[in-house]
Copies of this chain bind each other. A is one copy, B any other.
Amino acid sequence: MLYLVRMDVDIPDAVGLEEADALKAREKAYSQELQRGGEWVGIWRVVGEYANYSLFDVDSHDRLHEILSNLPLFPYMTIQVTALATHPSAIG
């Protein structure tokens, strides 16, 4: 099932550059593994913002929450989840 997820990231200064970079590196590896696994279908940067839109294809709400809540940057994220159904015009 498909979900559109918007993630806005706001890492407080108090976290420090070094730790922030480490978090971002772990976030990248975590995301790319899920992309290779096919659950994280796509990820795009919102122009001008420290935010992304991502498309997920997973089996259940629980699985999606597991993925999102284990994002290394999760504590510094505001996340909006939209459930997507098949559109009658979609040719895919």
Contact = CB atoms under 8 A, between A and B. Distances in A.
A68 B83 contact: no
- A interface majority secondary structure: mixed
**Copies of this chain in its oligomeric complex:** 10
A92 B47 contact: no
Interface string A64-84: 110011000001000111111
Interface of A: 1-5, 12-15, 27-28, 31-32, 35-36, 42-50, 52-53, 60-62, 64-65, 68-69, 75, 79-92
14 contacts: A2-B44, A13-B14, A13-B15, A14-B14, A35-B89, A44-B84, A44-B85, A44-B90, A45-B85, A48-B64, A48-B80, A61-B83, A62-B85, A64-B85
